[in-house]
Structure 1
């Protein structure tokens, strides 16, 4: 009788231990994978780097009725009234040069941004290996990663390249003094991040055309006076890194006439956007955008009269990666 009772006690205890310990749920990790995506472009290796994401208010979009914007956001299941907007940078290894296009926001915009350098390192590189930083323009979410909070350069071996028109506008004390109050912070950020590179003579301007072998600077003004896209080409394959042509993919592909509050010249920004969408949809060139959903690489498809759609690339491995 005692033996039977002993078994009756042990069996439920065994079951309890098995369920509570042996089959216990694993704790949640609560972290994300490193934010980089690698692809091969001919002989060049291109690595998209995720700086993070920020939320933009839909009220920043202009030249469309509120109900039209609501419909476009809902169609793409995008948040409303706050739209999540990615911030991307692109690292290009040509075999001769290691080039970073834009640097993200650094520590200027809180914990949502500032991951470019961390992800660059996760991708197997170091900031000291970068020999050239190309800037699409001088807004803070593109240049904030050039320095740390003390103003120390984070790319000690790199030459910083920016369009002459962009340099002349944002680094001008006269332009800053004449700017509306809400725009003066943009000038301050540009001037402070450029300062240590100017002092070390590693801040260089360009007029457009070839920058390094395989990379061409293309004039795309409007969003800012010297806004620049970079066409990358190797073995006949091309990628256009177009910067801030589109901020809201849910709205501005369908409605290219919609501008955003950050456009210095909204009329010219609209004209540039329409021309680029028309050209890229015709040529089917690969496109990379700083505010397109990460990794921000894909193609533009015509979707009606002056209406387009974004077609992101599919994740894959090139033959170069398969050899590893």
Structure 2
């Protein structure tokens, strides 16, 4: 009899409890999704220098139509291993160096040349605590639109007090009418955008290409890295024995070009030179344990290079460890 009573009583008790249970609070998911990213800057210390990476935005990188010397199977496997798919969003990063006495910007993003995806560098510069008027020098790795477009804003110099510098060979090529006439059709608009970008600095007497690679500022050296463009440069930043290699367009797509450094892009002016420079700088950065500042690796584009060896068939990208409050290195 006891078993029968329990069998019928428990469901009745449960139903009674449900009648008096408090109702769940109303859901708050009616709040709209924000759909915007955090301000695109990231800070680290390099010895006595403060490095601030600035995002200009991300854009869809058309791997299938741009990359050469790599098979579709290798592309598919590389993206799949990284958990990525096409269209791949490529970062556009620039690097602000505060030496304590000078403020130096390496590359300036695309500005208005890539549309609404990009042109966020000035906004992020201000969010990071700086003003465009405070920049003393802008160093360009090369004069492609996504590195030089941001030095100009509505026809005026975006950095009105800065000197604009790049390798003389780079300036000579992209400002040359004869080079433009001989270039592939898809590159000809790059010559127009290069001339427009440098024009305000030329007019102000602040356009100063350098004839020789080497030290340009205390702690900042220019290194030749031709191949992607004829006068492409990298910049080696050093303070208290710490090194940062800002290498421009040595790598465009990390999950493909680290395991396959032979992979090139159709925008390379000399694919063979681009391959040689990639291997040389990868080996240098790996052997000397440099931090690399990469223009197109996922923001903030700071990491070290793991050399091939053991079970690893190719180079590896080792992102820097995030620091919430960067202090002295």
- Tell me whether the two structures share a fold, i.e. TM-score over 0.5: yes
For residues 166-205 of structure 1, give each alpha carbon's deviation from its aligned partner in whole angstroms, at most 9, with x where no partner exists: 0010001111122222110111110111111111110101
Aligned: 1:185 with 2:189: yes
Do structure 1's residue 43 and structure 2's residue 51 form an aligned pair?
A: no
2:101 matched to 1:96? Answer: yes
How far apart are 1:26 and its partner, in Å? Answer: 6.6
After TM superposition, the structure 1 = structure 2 runs for residues 116-195 of structure 1, keeping only pairs within 5 Å, are 116-148=121-153, 150-195=154-199
Counterpart-to-counterpart distance in 2, 1:24 and 1:71: 41
SS in 1 for 2:186: helix
- Give runs of aligned pairs for residues 242-321 of structure 1, distance below 5 A: 242-304=247-309, 307-316=314-323, 317-320=325-328
Deviation for aligned residue 1:58: 1.8
CA contact under 8 A between 2:107 and 2:139: conserved in structure 1? yes
Alpha-carbon separation, structure 2, partners of 1:262 and 1:306: 26
> Are positions 1:228 and 2:236 aligned together?
no
Q: Contact between 1:256 and 1:306, CA under 8 Å: does it hold in 2?
A: no
How far the C-alpha of 1:252 sits from its partner, in A, is 0.2
Query: Quick one: distance in 2 between partners of 1:187 and 1:273?
Result: 24
Q: Structure 1 residue 306: deviation in Å?
A: 7.4
Residue 222 of structure 1 deviates from its aligned partner by 0.5
Structure 2 CA distance for aligned equivalents of residues 238 and 319 of structure 1: 16
1:230 is displaced (CA, Å) by 0.5
Q: Which TM-score applies when normalising by structure 2?
A: 0.88
Q: 1:34 aligned to 24, 27, 39, which one?
A: 39
- Structure 2 SS opposite 1:19: coil
For 1:260 and 1:73, how far apart are their aligned partners in 2?
16
**Counterpart Cα distance in 1 of 2:240 and 2:30:** 48
Q: How does 1:70-81 map to 2 (within 5 A)?
A: 70-80=76-86
What are the superposed Cα offsets for residues 252-296 of structure 1, whole Å, 9 maximum, x if unpaired?
A: 011100001111111100010011111211111111110011100
Alignment counterpart, residue 61 of structure 2, candidates 47, 56, 65: 56
Residue pair 2:46, 2:328 contacting (<8 A) in 1 also: no
Aligned to 1:4: none
CA distance in 2 between partners of 1:202 and 1:319 (Å): 34
Gaps of 5+ in 2: 1-18
Mapped partners of 2:107, 2:30: distance in 1: 39
1:78–1:84 CA contact under 8 A, matched in 2: no
> Residues of 2 paired with 1:196 and 1:151: CA distance?
7
Q: Which has the larger radius of gyration?
A: 2
In 1: Cα distance, 2:159 partner to 2:238 partner: 25
Name whichever of 305-314 and 169-178 sits farther off. 305-314
Distance 2:208 2:84 in 1: 39
How many correspondences in the alignment? 304
> Structure 1 length as normaliser, TM-score?
0.90
| 1:86 aligned onto 2:86 | no
User: Where does structure 1 differ by over 4 angstroms across 4 or more consecutive aligned residues?
Assistant: none
Secondary structure, aligned partner of 1:111: helix
User: SS of the counterpart of 2:298?
Assistant: coil
Kept in 2: contact 1:146–1:193 (CA 8 A): yes
Contact persistence 2:234–2:246 (CA under 8 A): yes
Distance 2:93 2:192 in 1: 22
Q: Partners in 2 of 1:201 and 1:297 — Cα distance?
A: 34
Q: Deviations over 1:77-131 (max 9, x none)?
A: 1222x22210000000001100111110001111111111110000000000001
Alignment match, 2:114: 109
